[in-house]
Amino acid sequence: MKPARDAILWAAQNRWLSEHLPRYRFVRASVRRFMPGEGIDDALGAAERLAPDGIPATFTYLGEHVRTPADADEVAEHYQALLDRIEERRPDAEVSVKPSHLGLALGPNDTFDRLRGLAERSANRGRHLFVDMEDSSTVEPTLELYRRLLEATPNVGVCLQAYLHRTSADVDEVAKRGGSVRLVKGAYREPRHVAAQDRADIDRAFAERALAFLEVGGGGRLALATHDVALLTEIERRAAAAGFGRDAYEIQMLYGIRAADQRRLAREGYRVRVLISYGTHWYPWFMRRLAEHPANVWLALRNLLSRR
């Protein structure tokens, strides 16, 4: 499966494909499995449909690597408007943002100001702001921003990727600072010296990082963001042996993936949250969803054939 994953992740970064593939109707139809629509109202509507099952939401406005400071300001304004809409419609929801979408490569100080504005607005309303993690070249600048944010307001969390060799130290540091972590396996194509490549190694690292966060007991939230139900069961077993109940962490999954498991886990009393993405710049994000589960490529091709 690794060559298929690598090829899809290569295509995710290819400029020509990113301009051409989204024009095809079968590609647009395939995106709908993972995204309720392109507008804020589509995302809010999806959150309202999850609410009766006791499942709160996290919203992400899709996009990454903006080219100008004005574009980054526009993204920050969009998120401010989203926070207002959340207040109006009152779903149990928070927001998660990509640093590169808020201008990380153009200047960390401006990005920090944009992030702080969103974090403070979220905190004033009793919500967290989460910061996504992107490819490994952005990890250190993202964590630098996160440390500064955490000093400004405690209601901020950061995503850490279990596949990175450095993440053991990062989990320890963030936990000791009282920060919140969304632990994921990792979605980017990384070289062997930077990230584990084998599934078993990544799963083992994920469980160990989760347990390490709990053991530090820094007071922040721990979100296990994975659809790997067997891994969740294994972590629950090890956490229980170490004296932690299932209320010590939450489970997060993506909209449209393992939806039946999301509802079942919530019914069984786990704290489950679903991340809902929306927006028009969905191409690289959609390709990462295909790479995670190459069988999705066949589903997309089925959409192509059924439309002929």
> Interface residues with ligand FDA (CB under 6 A)?
132-133, 159, 161, 182, 184-188, 225-228, 252-254, 257-258, 275, 289, 292-293, 296
Is residue 202 within 8 Å of 241, Cβ to Cβ? no
Between 121 and 189, name the residue whose CB sits nearer to ligand FDA.
189
What is the SS3 assignment for 127?
A: coil
Whether 172 is catalytic is: no
Distance (Å, whole) CA 188 – CA 165: 14
Q: How near is the Cβ of 88 to ligand FDA at its closest, in Å?
A: 24
Is residue 156 within 8 Å of 179, Cβ to Cβ? yes
Distance (Å, whole) CA 216 – CA 83: 32
Between 16 and 184, name the residue whose CB sits nearer to ligand FDA.
184
| Of 182, 209, 273, 289, catalytic | 182
Task: List the beta bridge partners of residue 276.
Answer: 59
Whether 132 is catalytic is: yes
**Residue 304, both tokens:** 């192509």
Q: How near is the Cβ of 182 to ligand FDA at its closest, in Å?
A: 6
Between 57 and 175, name the residue whose CB sits nearer to ligand FDA.
57
Q: How near is the Cβ of 66 to ligand FDA at its closest, in Å?
A: 17
Between 4 and 68, name the residue whose CB sits nearer to ligand FDA.
4
The DSSP symbol for 102 reads G
Give me the amino acid identity at 275. L
Q: How near is the Cβ of 243 to ligand FDA at its closest, in Å?
A: 25
| Of 121, 132, 135, 271, catalytic | 132
Is residue 34 within 8 Å of 277, Cβ to Cβ? yes
State the catalytic residues: 132, 182
